[in-house]
Amino acid sequence: MPTHAQILPLVFDKVSYVAKGARLVDEFSVTLDPGTRTIILGPNGAGKSLVLRLSHGLLQPTSGAIRWEGPGGGNKASLHQAMVFQRPMTLRRSVGANLDYVLSLRKVPRELRRAKTAEALKRAGLFAMRSRPARVLSAGEQQKLALGRAWVMEPEVLFLDEPTASLDPAATREVENMINAIHQAGTKIIMTTHDLGQARRLADDIIFMHQGRLIERAGAEEFFEHPRTPHAEAFLNGELLP
């Protein structure tokens, strides 16, 4: 693994996000430390994706502050992050060229790019498809390509927004395996899901959100065994939240 400048921890200080008069994220405060797979859990419309986009700098908070408090957390912090979206965006180029593109953005020399691309494609199980147009791959393969492309940037933090929401079970398993492999290689995972089973399989710690608010923050085992709030308990029991 590359030596990171270390941008974590990520601190949310009373962050609110308002759009068209609606308070979609409300006084959200949390600290995210390195190491764990953090799952942001909650029903649809809880504000999970917005928190992810605010973290990654794709959106600016209406009020409050978001800080990368590690020694490397200056204005170069974005170089150490990557994000994978629910619907994978693949460039209209070959599978290999999709990886080469981000490496060239990171100014990796051409000779090195070829080797890194090949290695990343092997890790993603896509090496045999390296010359194919990326857009003809299946949804699951495209998502693995998006993950491989994020991985090749060797981020310190990887954001994932419901990465398996539109995939079948087999593809979901492969994507989850890849997420674990990326984590084991030293990357902090911050991921949203509304799928309880997935949260149980992947989470080290849970941030439970509802209606734009942080409801509960706990280690995964503690959260699933002994939820402290009625909202979390109701969600775990599969009830519809008010």
Partner 1 sequence: MSEIWSALGKAMVLIADFDPDLVEIIGLSLRVSLTAVLIAAVIGLPVGAAVALFRFPGRPVLVVLINALMGLPPVVVGLIVYLLLSRAGPFGVFNLLYSPTAMIIAQAILIGPIVAALTRQTVEDLWQEYGEQLTSFGVGPGRAVWTLLWDGRFSLLTGVLAGFGRASAEVGAVMIVGGNIDHLTRVMTTSIALETSKGNLEIALALGIILLIIALGINASAYAIRDVAYRTES
- Closest by CA to 235, choosing from 14, 12, 52, 43, is 43
Residues 88-107 close enough to bind partner 1 by CB under 8 A: 89, 91-93, 101-102, 105
User: For partner 1, which is the closer residue by CB, 156 or 216?
Assistant: 156
Secondary structure class of 238 (helix, strand, coil)? coil
Nearer of residues 112 and 136 to partner 1, judged by Cβ: 136
112-141 footprint of partner 1 as x/- string (CB under 8 A): ---------------------x-xx-----
Under the binding rule (CB under 8 A), the answer on residue 25 touching partner 1 is no
**Residue whose CB is less far from partner 1, 62 or 94:** 94
Contacts of partner 1 in 50-69 (CB under 8 A): 53, 56, 58
Q: Minimum CB separation from partner 1 for residue 20, in Å? A: 19
Which distant-in-sequence residues (6+ apart) come within 8 Å of 205 by Cβ? 36, 37, 38, 39, 217, 218, 219, 220, 223
DSSP 3-state of 169: helix
**Contact between 82 and partner 1 per CB under 8 A:** yes
Is the distance from CB of 65 to CB of 141 less than 8 angstroms?
no
Q: Supply the DSSP string of 177-214, one letter for each residue.
A: HHHHHHHHTT-EEEEEES-HHHHHHH-SEEEEEETTEE
Using the rule CB under 8 A, is 79 a contact of partner 1?
yes
19 binds partner 1 per the rule CB under 8 A: no
Amino acid at 161: D
Instruction: Classify each residue of 196-215 as buried b or exposed e, where b means 16 or more C-beta atoms within 10 Å of its C-beta.
Output: eebbbbbbebbbbbbbbbbb
Which residue from 85, 125, 130, 213 is in contact with partner 1, where contact means CB under 8 A? 85
The footprint of partner 1 (CB under 8 A) covers: 53, 56, 58, 78-79, 81-83, 85, 89, 91-93, 101-102, 105, 133, 135-136
